[in-house]
């Protein structure tokens, strides 16, 4: 009996060790989940590869995360896949301080050291907040991630399945010899109309600043090189504040885009103001119609009251004298009583 008990205990101990080993191995291997053959085939089909350079763009208002991969033949980036963001926290605008539960905006570089295969949220990678720009403005915060688990306290949360693929794409890009994967975070797509819709925001100057990097990427489909000059993001300059390093043709195209966006901004502002005027006029007409209806109802009630009074006097069952308590002087005098 004692021998059987010892054997049972040994079997239990051995099974427990196997279970712990399996769990530990699975936990550590999350970061090595391979890309699916389907995803790899899609990358190859667009002329890219898992190890090619990669850019991520995040748009808060649309709750979308885009993965862009560089195509070998042209050296330009093409959109590979768009993912719905499960959750982000705070409002449109940048993050300012630790604990404000605000998801950041700006330009970030994810290096191999930012990868976290042992995340409490399945998998995650750190955006690197605060970056050089954030620090120049005294902004604070830590552990701002793109992670799984679909819940956010200042991060960008995905489903576990999504973050597993995104994490693998970033990891493979690092393995391909790329020092970092750039993450561009915007409040919305930086169109003239969207800026006009948010023209009263205190973040407008910041948004116009990061729009410079957005425009360079939109026009050239190449990676914007960013730094910080006098407290602002600077893009594609020699040193932080030097001359532009953009190809003249690309620079001209960027300026043309910005001029077009400025026109769209002004037109959208005019449309917004006109809409406000139209809505105010419609509200005034509504109030006037309501007042006119009330006056008509009052007039109807007054007329109804007069008609009712006339019919009451006509069919009230007595003469005016009787109603007023007066006696007819021609009426016979009733006989006296004893």
DSSP string, 263-281: HHHHHHHHHHHHHHHHHHH
What are the residues facing 124 on neighbouring strands? 116, 147
Phi, psi at residue 233, to the nearest 5°? Answer: -65, 140
Question: Annotated catalytic, 155?
Answer: yes
Question: From CA 22, how far away is CA 181, in angstroms rounded?
Answer: 32
Q: Which residues contact 217 (CB under 8 A, 6 or more apart)?
A: 55, 57, 77, 184, 223, 224
The token duo for 99 is 């604990």
Inter-helix orientation angle 204-220/248-314, to 10°: 130
Question: From CA 245, how far away is CA 235, in angstroms rounded?
Answer: 9
Question: Annotated catalytic, 147?
Answer: yes
Question: From CA 226, how far away is CA 256, in angstroms rounded?
Answer: 21
Question: From CA 253, how far away is CA 217, in angstroms rounded?
Answer: 11
Q: Which residues contact 102 (CB under 8 A, 6 or more apart)?
A: 89, 90, 91, 93, 94, 95, 96, 154
The token duo for 276 is 């406000």
- CA-based nearest residue to 185, from 222, 145, 220: 145
- The angle formed by the CA atoms of residues 238, 239 and 241, to the nearest 5 degrees, is 90
Question: From CA 254, how far away is CA 78, in angstroms rounded?
Answer: 18
CA dihedral for 227, 233, 234, 235, sign (positive or negative): positive
Q: Is 153 exposed, middle or buried (0-12, 13-18, 19+ CB in 10 A)?
A: middle
Give the active site residue among 147, 150, 174, 241. 147
Q: CB of 165 within 8 A of CB of 158?
A: no
What number of helices (H) and strands (E) belong to the chain? 8, 12
Give the active site residue among 23, 86, 150, 155. 155
Catalytic annotation, residues: 147, 155
């Amino acid at each position: 009996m004692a021998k059987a008990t010892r054997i049972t205990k040994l079997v239990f101990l051995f099974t427990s060790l196997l279970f712990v080993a399996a769990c530990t191995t699975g936990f550590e291997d999350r970061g090595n989940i391979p890309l699916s053959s389907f995803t790899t085939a899609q990358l190859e089909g667009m002329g890219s590869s898992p190890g090619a350079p990669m850019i991520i763009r995040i748009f808060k208002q649309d709750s979308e995360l885009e993965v862009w991969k560089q195509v070998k033949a042209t050296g330009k980036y093409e959109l590979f896949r768009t993912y719905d963001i499960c959750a982000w926290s705070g409002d449109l605008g940048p993050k300012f301080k630790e604990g404000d539960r605000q998801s950041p905006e700006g330009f970030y570089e994810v290096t191999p050291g930012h990868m976290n295969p042992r995340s409490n949220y399945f998998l995650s990678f750190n955006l690197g907040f605060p970056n050089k720009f954030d620090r120049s403005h005294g902004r604070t915060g830590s552990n701002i991630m793109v992670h799984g688990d679909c819940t956010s306290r200042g991060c960008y949360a995905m489903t576990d399945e999504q973050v597993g693929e995104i994490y693998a794409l970033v990891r493979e890009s690092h393995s391909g010899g790329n020092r970092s994967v750039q993450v561009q975070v915007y409040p919305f797509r930086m169109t003239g109309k969207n800026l006009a819709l948010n023209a009263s925001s205190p973040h407008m100057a910041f948004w116009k600043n990061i729009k410079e990097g957005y425009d360079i990427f939109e026009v050239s489909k190449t990676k914007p090189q960013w730094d910080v000059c006098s407290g602002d993001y600077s893009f594609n300059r020699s040193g932080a504040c030097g001359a532009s390093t953009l190809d003249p043709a690309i620079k001209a195209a960027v300026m043309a885009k910005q001029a077009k966006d400025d026109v769209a901004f002004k037109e959208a502002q005019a449309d917004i103001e006109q809409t406000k005027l139209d809505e105010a006029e419609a509200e005034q007409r509504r109030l006037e119609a309501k007042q006119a209806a009330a006056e008509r109802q009052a007039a109807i009630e007054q007329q109804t009251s007069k008609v009712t009074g006339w019919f009451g006097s006509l069919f009230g069952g007595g003469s005016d004298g009787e109603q007023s308590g007066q006696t007819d002087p021609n009426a016979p005098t009733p006989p006296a009583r004893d």
